[in-house]
Structure 1
Amino acid sequence: MRASSLRARLLLALVAALVMGAALHAAVMAALARWGGHAALLAGAAAVLAVVLAAWGSARLVAPLKRLLRSLESAVLSYRDGDFSVSISDDHGGELGALVGHHNALGHALRDQRQHLAQRELLLDTVVQNTPVALVLTDLRQRVAYANIAARQLLGEGRSLEGSDFGALLATLPPALARAVEEGTDALFSVTLDGSDETFHLSQRQFRLQGRPHRLLLFRRMTRELSRQEVATWKRVIRVISHELNNSLAPISSLAHSGAELARRGDVQRLPEVFAAIGERARHLHGFLDGYARFAKLPAPRPGRVEWAPFLDALAAQYPFTRAGDVPARAGVFDAAQVEQALINLLKNAHESGGPAEGVTLWITDTGTEIRFEVADRGPGMSDTVLAQALLPFYSTKRAGTGLGLALAREIAEAHGGRIALANRPDGGLRVAITVPRGPDANPGIPDR
């Protein structure tokens, strides 16, 4: 007989025990009343029979639960071994049936998740293996833990790299590639492959995998992208130069024609005005071309000792500013002419930002290892889009701008081994900071400013 629920089974077992106990008590009492002295023997026999019947009945009632527990144990062990295909037959009712149903649903969900993860892993492996970016993963011992197809072709002539010594592998590769890897930072480098020069961008990242340090290296071919960018840059340069030349040559041609006509008619009184206009346009064109020439022919910086007072006086003569804070106590050490040109460009932009002239400020800070120049204004600042492109050559939001001021400042900062940064001020305006390494205080052979 099968109970409908675990509670019914337990209730049935309790009722059976009560009935057996009552029957045994009645039998013992009847035996005492009828047989007297033989009652103890009869009571013992009845107790043994009751125990046997109780054990048999309990075993019958508990047997389905034991079979279910064994099935659950076997299923859990299969799950531990990664086998989620085990199901338990649903021949139980009540709570046990519900438990079996939940278990089978769990197994089905685990099977679906494992299949989904297997498909995602297969997709990820396919993408990683077939990406044109060469990917190499090394462990703490500098052993290659993983390398995709592009990495095998770039570094191992197509052979498998897993388990090989990455340091020994680098010794067989082009020196430029090996140096870029050994520097441990992101870098651009060029190597000759199949008779042609190829430029790569190397990205290196450190992370922990399963609690152990690993290094991920990504080699991306940049030759085609750089060529496209170079062509786009040249096209933009040509457009800017053509536009500026036309803006100057068209008025010059018109004024020259007007001057010739005035001279033919004998109206010489207006000729000085015409010649002055031609000269102004010629000077503008000369300044425009001179700016391009300075950007293209920026020489290597020649650091020297710079006294702050004459340096700032010369700078203020070009564009006035409000000095914020005290100047450093020690003299500066940098290429005065180049840094002055960079600051002139920043101050010019600050005055043209649309803010008040008295809002243009200059900070100079000496940290001991670096010198930081910071120019700020009270203009409207820049949008995120403009901030992201403001340092690119030939990018300008001004109608008559050449897009070379900030680009030249960036070139000067980076030529010194420094950097430039732009940011909007929280209370309005733009802040541009140039940071250059501080050279030694004494530098024989290089004259002071």
Structure 2
Amino acid sequence: MRFLSLQGKLAAVLAAVAVAAAGLALLVQRGFDDLRLSLPLLVLFLVLAVLPLARVLSARSAALFRALTGSVTSFKDGDFSFSIATDQRDELGELVQAHNELGRVLRDERQGLFQRELLLDTVVQNTPTAMVLVEPGGHVVYANIAARQLLNAGSPLQGLAFDTVVAESPPAFAHAVADGGDTLFTVALDGEDETFHFSQRSFKLQGRQHRMYLIKRMTRELSRQEVATWKKVIRVISHELNNSLAPISSLAHSGRVLAGKGDTQRLGAVFDTIEDRARHLHGFIRGYAEFAKLPQPRLEEVSWQAVLDAIARQFPDIQVAAAPEQRGWFDRSQIEQVLINLVKNAHEAGGPAAEIELAVVQRPGEARIEVRDRGSGMSEAVLANALLPFYSTKRSGSGLGLALAREIAEAHGGRIVLANREGGGLCVTLVLPRA
């Protein structure tokens, strides 16, 4: 027990009171022989002495308790600027020191939080992406500078009904909002067409469901991408045309020379080669035309068993898993074409044909069609670019097979996923949403 602790101080006071009471009792006993008179006088004297002593001893502690109560109330109200000064070295002094340290930590954390909020607000306010936050009642609770300029001519949006803002905006934006997902839309601004990427997400904020809308101007990015794509298309087409036209021109000259010499026996081989190169060039151009003219899918209920049977008839050497009982919802001809291309790619990957697997897996909300092989797989660079149009690692490839598969998958609201398999090989997954 420490002497300066509350317990030590209380013990010292009680001991002093006990000694004083004992001495007073002896004095009273000597002065008064009658105990009936001396005992009440002793009790009265002790009460009158103890009450002021208790008040004096508890005054500083009571003042500190009142100060602590007021400071804690300030903390509850968000004011962490209070601290309490004391020179007491007992438990109450330690409590005051802990309280002051808590206030310092809260002040530092609040200052750091304020700085982070200021930085975040500065970034959000100055980002070129328009951001609008809408509360469950449909009113705008936050909009950055880009959103105000884009949707309300620079005026504040807070408090406005988002439906009213949408109704006063171009129809393309209203259609994008009604679509409920991520999309691109184009509107005319200052006489020029501008393309925007629109996305929307729902999340809980302070226990309530809010919705965030993001609008990003994409015209420059799309223009740069379009130019890069056109350059790549021109390079690929020029390469293929030169590979076919150069030998055709050379063979035509050779045929003219042979015809002038009357050597008709060798003309047949010349014409056969010219015909072969022309057929290759025609197929190359037809592939590009099919990619450019891909029609919108005609969705309908389709039996998975019928689709897998059709693929199995064309590729009897592959493994086809049992079809799920649930029916799919897609354009059968387009999906079958995708699966044919994927199985052909699996054959060309170099692995055994008997180890190529085709399976359909039904999951909540989606169907996954997997084509697995045991070929050489893909490097990280090839995986990153394999779905891009005109990208091919094959010498005679057009780079349109997987790009066409991705185009068809996305037209169905799905996607294509490529992944290397453990033990070698590739797994190509076509993910389609269920009806």
TM-score, normalised to structure 2, is 0.83
Instruction: Confirm or deny that 1:154 pairs with 2:138.
Output: no
Q: In structure 2, do the counterparts of structure 1 residues 72 and 335 end up closer, same or farther at CA, with 3 Å as the change threshold?
A: closer
Please show how residues 240-251 of structure 1 align to structure 2 within 5 Å: 240-251=236-247
How far 1:329 sits from its partner (Å)? 9.9
- Helix, strand or coil: the match of 1:90? coil
Q: Distance in 2 between matches of 1:126 and 1:169?
A: 24
How far 1:410 sits from its partner (Å)? 3.0
Please show how residues 422-437 of structure 1 align to structure 2 within 5 Å: 422-425=418-421, 428-434=424-430
Structure 2 equivalent of residue 36 of structure 1: 33
After superposition, the CA RMSD in angstroms is 4.0
Q: Is the 8 A contact 2:308 2:320 kept in 1?
A: no
User: What whole-Å deviation, never above 9, does each CA across 1:84-115 have from its counterpart, x for those lacking one?
Assistant: 11111132224333332222222111111111
Please show how residues 232-247 of structure 1 align to structure 2 within 5 Å: 232-247=228-243
Structure 1 equivalent of residue 9 of structure 2: 9
How far 1:353 sits from its partner (Å)? 0.8
Please show how residues 293-442 of structure 1 align to structure 2 within 5 Å: 293-300=289-296, 321-322=317-318, 324-325=320-321, 338-363=334-359, 374-383=370-379, 386-415=382-411, 420-425=416-421, 428-434=424-430
Q: Distance in 2 between matches of 1:12 and 1:331?
A: 89
Give the one of 205, 208, 211 matched to 2:204. Answer: 208
Q: Is the 8 A contact 1:24 1:50 kept in 2?
A: no
Instruction: Confirm or deny that 1:49 pairs with 2:45.
Output: yes
Q: Distance in 2 between matches of 1:173 and 1:398?
A: 48
**Greater displacement, 151-160 / 334-343:** 334-343
Q: Is the 8 A contact 1:198 1:223 kept in 2?
A: yes
Q: Distance in 2 between matches of 1:98 and 1:148?
A: 48
**Greater displacement, 292-301 / 403-412:** 292-301
How far 1:82 sits from its partner (Å)? 1.7
Structure 2 letter corresponding to 1:36: D
Structure 2 equivalent of residue 114 of structure 1: 110
Q: Distance in 2 between matches of 1:301 and 1:78?
A: 65
Q: Distance in 1 between matches of 2:130 and 2:83?
A: 44
Instruction: Confirm or deny that 1:135 pairs with 2:118.
Output: no
User: What whole-Å deviation, never above 9, does each CA across 1:311-330 have from its counterpart, x for those lacking one?
Assistant: 98986787654252467999
Structure 1: stretches of 5+ with no match in the other structure: 440-449
- Helix, strand or coil: the match of 1:198? strand
Structure 2 letter corresponding to 1:96: L
Q: In structure 2, do the counterparts of structure 1 residues 329 and 242 end up closer, same or farther at CA, with 3 Å as the change threshold?
A: same
Q: In structure 2, do the counterparts of structure 1 residues 265 and 313 end up closer, same or farther at CA, with 3 Å as the change threshold?
A: farther
**Greater displacement, 249-258 / 18-27:** 249-258
Q: Is the 8 A contact 1:419 1:434 kept in 2?
A: yes
Q: Is the 8 A contact 2:312 2:320 kept in 1?
A: no
Give the one of 175, 179, 182 matched to 2:175. Answer: 179
Structure 2 equivalent of residue 194 of structure 1: 190
Q: Distance in 2 between matches of 1:256 and 1:276?
A: 11
Q: Is the 8 A contact 2:319 2:354 kept in 1?
A: no
Please show how residues 163-174 of structure 1 align to structure 2 within 5 Å: 163-174=159-170
Please show how residues 14-93 of structure 1 align to structure 2 within 5 Å: 14-31=14-31, 35-37=32-34, 40-93=36-89
Give the one of 123, 143, 149 matched to 2:119. Answer: 123
Q: In structure 2, do the counterparts of structure 1 residues 190 and 74 end up closer, same or farther at CA, with 3 Å as the change threshold?
A: same
Q: Distance in 1 between matches of 2:256 and 2:19?
A: 136
User: What whole-Å deviation, never above 9, does each CA across 1:34-59 have from its counterpart, x for those lacking one?
Assistant: x524x543443333223222223332
**Greater displacement, 314-323 / 421-430:** 314-323
- Helix, strand or coil: the match of 1:122? helix
**Greater displacement, 281-290 / 215-224:** 281-290
Q: Distance in 2 between matches of 1:70 and 1:332?
A: 73
How far 1:352 sits from its partner (Å)? 0.9
Structure 2: stretches of 5+ with no match in the other structure: none
Q: Is the 8 A contact 1:139 1:213 kept in 2?
A: yes
Structure 2 equivalent of residue 446 of structure 1: none
Q: Is the 8 A contact 1:321 1:362 kept in 2?
A: no
User: What whole-Å deviation, never above 9, does each CA across 1:381-422 have from its counterpart, x for those lacking one?
Assistant: 345654443322112233432210111233344556665444
**Greater displacement, 393-402 / 195-204:** 393-402
How far 1:177 sits from its partner (Å)? 0.7
- Helix, strand or coil: the match of 1:163? coil
Q: Is the 8 A contact 1:9 1:61 kept in 2?
A: no
- Helix, strand or coil: the match of 2:184? strand
TM-score, normalised to structure 1, is 0.81
Q: In structure 2, do the counterparts of structure 1 residues 13 and 264 end up closer, same or farther at CA, with 3 Å as the change threshold?
A: farther
**Percentage of identical aligned residues:** 58
How far 1:275 sits from its partner (Å)? 5.5
Q: Which has the higher contact order (CA 8 A, sep 6+)?
A: 1
How far 1:13 sits from its partner (Å)? 0.8
**Greater displacement, 217-226 / 85-94:** 85-94
**Greater displacement, 3-12 / 333-342:** 333-342
Q: Is the 8 A contact 1:13 1:61 kept in 2?
A: no
Q: Distance in 2 between matches of 1:49 and 1:291?
A: 115
**Alignment length (residue pairs):** 432
